[in-house]
Structure 1
Amino acid sequence: MKLNEYIDHTLLSAQATKLEVIQLCKEALTHNFYAVCVNSSYTKLAKEVLAGSNVKIAVTIGFPLGAVSSTTKEIEAVQAFKDGADELDMVINIGALKNKDYEKVKNEISDIKNLKSGKILKVIIETCYLNPEEIVKASELAMQAGADFVKTSTGFGTRGASKEDILIMKETVGENMRIKASGGIRDRETALDYIHLGADRIGTSSGIKIMTETP
């Protein structure tokens, strides 16, 4: 297993600068990470720096709250694709899930997925705000809507991923979807633990530390 190929090298802070995003992309090239993950305003810049490489560009949509309108998310997604995004990491409408407005949640996911054939959609369900039953339901809705990944966290909630989250999500989606663990993953041991539990991708801002730690 090549750990670098599981990592989405991430910079999503509100104060992220152009130079920091360029550095992120250069680090991803050096370590051959699977992708960088950036806010949508930096899609074009990431595309320029990563041109000609195998590193994918993952772009956040409706981030970090998920509470903007479905139309706003679609507009942001369309622009991200125009600017060069390969993958989208979209936050669900958590309030709608809590309201049991499951059709709204599912339709929003499917509408984003159907915008661009062949592009990867990861659905962030923000597990820190959900009980186990809601994690199951959110994972089921993402699966039914045709998303490619269900993802634990934005990294901006009250906590990031947990082993319990991954186990619940894996039991729910099985081999029908992939899982991205993100939020609070700052060392090699934690990243490997999540992969062994069933995560197919790791979202982290500590990719360099993880890769340079002694196994």
Structure 2
Amino acid sequence: MKKLITFLSAASILLASSSAFSAADSNAAIKSKLLNLGLEASKIIDSPMPGLKEVTTNRGIFYTSADGQFFIAGRLFDINNGMKNLTENAMNELRINGVESFKDSMIVYPAKNEKYKITVFTDTTCGYCRKLHGQMSEYNDLGITVQYLAFPRGGLNSRSFYDIQSVWCADDQQKAMTASKNGESVKPANCSAPISAHYELGQAAGVNGTPAIVLDDGTMIPGYKPPSDLIQLLAQ
């Protein structure tokens, strides 16, 4: 009996090790194949749909078969739960974690009597980014704190990248942001501000244009929202 128990224990350990190796091997295969598509996978888990992997990448969330042969770019819905958008739920979590990771490198315009907080991926040149910034006092007066992450629309190493980097590297970031949004020149500056990392988070979070507003629950609102419209949405 003792030998049998020992054998069963050894077999269980071997089986568990084999499963772990198999899962790791499968994830490695998925990462390798996605790299060929220009996608860097940072997280691979079982999706709510059996047999399908949910893959978090530098360009958002996608799905693959367990061996990485089949690739799905689209949304996954749960019909039995009111067409719940499972992909968007996963994206919300990605945005929440991303915003939290950059909480110390944002430019913040706090409301004195804060009721809500929004995070805005912004660029210094886009018209609606400038319009939003021009109404900052109205947002703040409604109890909305606005915190900025950088999203240079021209991409990395573009003119917009260096312009917004200069804002983040200025001694007075708020003053520099306002000046830049007013079309004024900001003294060129270079520092360790994580502009590239902000931009990469935006791409992973599904930002396709600016401004892009992220709420506390991870919901993303693309485009500009007037203060009166935004406060109604936040109050729902």
**Shorter-normalised TM range:** under 0.3
| TM-score, normalised via structure 2 length | 0.26
Structure number with larger C-alpha Rg: 2
| TM-score, normalised via structure 1 length | 0.28
